[in-house]
Structure 1
Amino acid sequence: MAEQLEPETILREISDLEGRIEELRQAANMPVPDLRATLDAALVELELALTALRTMGVDQANAAGRSATAETERRVLRTVFQDAPVPLFLLDRDAGVRRVNKQAAAMLGTSPGYVSGKQFIAFCDLPARAALRSQLAAVVRTGRRRRTEVRFLGREHPVDAMVTMARVWIRGEPDPMIVVAAGATAVPDGPADDERPTRTATPAAGTAGGAAREAAPLSDDRDDEVMAALVHRMDVLATASELLLDEPVFNENVAVRRCARLLTAEMTEWVFIDLTPPRAGPASAGGTGAPGAAGHEANGDLRRVVVMGQPDEHGEETVHSLEQLAPEPGTLPHTVFTTRQSALRPHVEDLDLLGVCADGQPACVKMGATSVLCVPVEDGDRCIGTITLASRGEHGPLDLLDLGVAQRLGRLLALVIRASRLYQRRDEIAVSLQASLLPQRLPQIPGVEVAGLYRAATHGIEVGGDFYDVFPAAGGGWGMVLGDVCGKGQEAAAVTAAARHGVRALSGWKSDPAEVLSMVNQALLDEERFVTAVMAGLTVGGEGMKATLASAGHPPAIVIRPDGMVRYASSGGVPLGLFEDFEVGTQVIELAAGDTLFLHSDGVLDACDMSRRQFGQERLLEVLAGHAAAPLQEMLNAVEQRLIDYCDGDLRDDVSMLAVRRQPTPLN
């Protein structure tokens, strides 16, 4: 006779039924669903609901008879459980593992103590979990035995088994329990030699069916496997160090993607990397600012930076869903970030621990993840993010050795990111400082075209020493100057600012460029750096323009005629700031309409190709002659592009150019 359903029992049954139906919906929407098993389970749920409706109000069966039967089953269970030749699991009505025998632990490649207390379905392949939970519920509810195929997630590889589930009553237990017996159907071959090395470092003690073998001592072959696993992890760390430190200047985005790509290639199927944005302000430059209350970045907002893995046939749709899934409070990455404590979940029980996607499907279900670990990305002072690894279990669950490798990678990545953000902050400061050394815009001179160009060296983040300027001069004329301070950095920037602004200020009451440079020389004698410079005083009149040149150890100015003829002006003089007895090279040049006066730094001539051959004067003159009639900015851009092509983008020094041209008088 069917048992009576009390009101409390009915409510619990309805709640459990709703939960199992939701799991079946998720299982049916998985990328590779087991539709047959899901359908069978759905029919089971309908049967259970019908049985519950029919048995409401029926008298309870004889309690004494049931007690006698349960006592008999208890004695049988006690006798055969540990010594049964097949793997056995004892579950409570909620599918939690109460006890396993040694054959079951051997099948999973772990210890009985590890299995106990976890959900039984956590050791089973993800697509069949929802259906299996329904089958277990049917066994509890109806008392009828059931058989179904299950793929267990063994430590080294999955194990296919046929399981038989039966309900038992144990004295002292208020609810029935379930005995699950597993018999092997097939044991997949291990991975081929050319596949990803197994992560396992401890042996499985037996197989799933027949007379299971006892745990055996490690053989020589097994010792070799353990050593190979350890060596593989050392190789992963060595490769990571090489990949992350390969950049001449640390790049956070490159480092993060390289780290994720390495992990998916060598250790797991899916990787998430979540990071906090850099802290604003000078504190981030040194990386030693006071950490927040939890010891992480001040704003504490984790952002998903990279999702990388081996997507199913849904491909980009799956990756996009996971990228949009923020590491919110309550998820494993957020918990690891706030506590700075690594977490390892070899067999995932809570499918929501990585969050739920916008379509309502847990991230673990979308990935097919049955094993997860998460480690903080911290540099010793603060935590700036997390690395999460998710595995489908095809090569065994993630273990402590995987956790150790991920922790080391987390610290290495944190150091690279810290250096990258330091460099980025210093680069921002350098760019701002460099911008202050150059005019924001060149003045408009009636009848004269003016253009300037500055390009920083490819390597390094130090402030360059190049400067140029165009400004009004005494007597109604105009002045232009281009110079180069010896060295780079903040000290060189201070000298650059002094030279540029000194020339500009003195030109307000001195019209002769030679006098201006002589006075600047006096001001720079106490500095530890010298400056080369070329200055021109411009007087515009009629159809032409007169340029009075003064050179202080700088490459000479160049005159380009409209027909392409190119001539060097005279050079000479000594750099500024070296000697009190200062000499300057001077020359006066008449520029007709269409003539161009071109000034440049030595970075133009010294640019080298892969064979360390310099760009030189002849190549510069060739480009200038070829663009003699082009607009000035186009001319300067052409020189820049030719330089970049010549040195394959590897400029070793800053490049500065400044040009003026007397425009023809338009005809009325």
Structure 2
Amino acid sequence: MAQAEDYGAELSDFRKRVAELRATRALPDGARPATLDAALFELQYVSDVLWPRHEQLVAAQRQTARPADPKELQLLRAVFQRLPLPVLLLDGDSVVNRLNFAASQLFGLRAGYAAGRSITASFNHEGRAAFRGQVAAVARHEGSRSLAVELMHGLSGETERPGRLWVTLTAVRPPGHRRTAVLAVCQPLAGPAGRPPAPVSPAVPAQRPDPAEVSSQVALMDLLDDMTAALLDEGRHGASPLERAARVLHGRFADWVIADRAEPGGGPLRRAAVLAPEEAPDGGGAAAIAAQDPSDAPLILEAARAGASALQIRPEDMFALGESGDGLPVLALTETASLLCVPLRLPSGAVLGVLTLLRAAGRPAFELAEASAMERMSRHIALALRAA
């Protein structure tokens, strides 16, 4: 501890001397050679003194740290998974590192899919910035805190309005993690805004499954079944697998479906199909979107290059999908409230195309569970394209 305090004092003095050197920039030119010599001396001091001292402190910390007991780690993982309340382990950017079974049921996510993705996509747009700010503050060791958030989908028994949660955040340092993580504990919030719910007795029996959630899962299974049938039916109107897939998704899953196909041999994207809402007058601008070059849509181009899906609720960048010939943003032209951009990627990593799905205002936004199902279908579509 004494060595760490001495090192901190030396580092503080060094920062003060650097500040003084920066202030000498206003001196006459004649004094600058001496200032340059002083700056070089300070750099040599960092290289010869401060950095070796830092390496010694790190090595001493590693020697004193005891290795974690595997049995204890296994016990901690089991306790984490079996907690009756939804619990998530987040980093400072609100990205999920781990979540228990109760949290996966609450948010409708698989643990493998949620890891590495921001949990804020499950919240209403208005509360996302506040949640990220609170998580970042806890990760900076500014103290534990709690806040209310609103989900994009209803909780059990609250199908008429989005579910609300009371989330408690606290900083933790899990074994093997180099940085501070944030433990988020979620509870359904049924009382007035800003007040946590009453503690739940462990003896209370589990609630019955939410009919709306079950219906949503059944609808996704039906969609997966119809998509598989459409991809296997090669003789349907002579259409390509990408066009057949777009027709399955149109209407029931998305208001707008924009399909882009990559040229053979890794060429640029070309627009293959644009399906607009049936009630849109004059196609709602479908002809203008069909004439657009996909390379002018930053979000589609990024999905093709990086091979990663994108889910956006109430997109902030109106030009994320480019603009039509008359300069109108595509997102404004389609009145998009949520979008899902999914690359058609083979197991080898090659991207054969991109599907962009849009939902207009008034329709429920895309959820992470729907994005997960769409990623599965995208792999099937890519395999069908390769076979064709």
Normalised TM-score (structure 2):
0.48
The structure with higher relative contact order (CA 8 Å, sep 6+) is: 2
Relative to total residues, which structure has the larger helix share, 1 or 2?
2
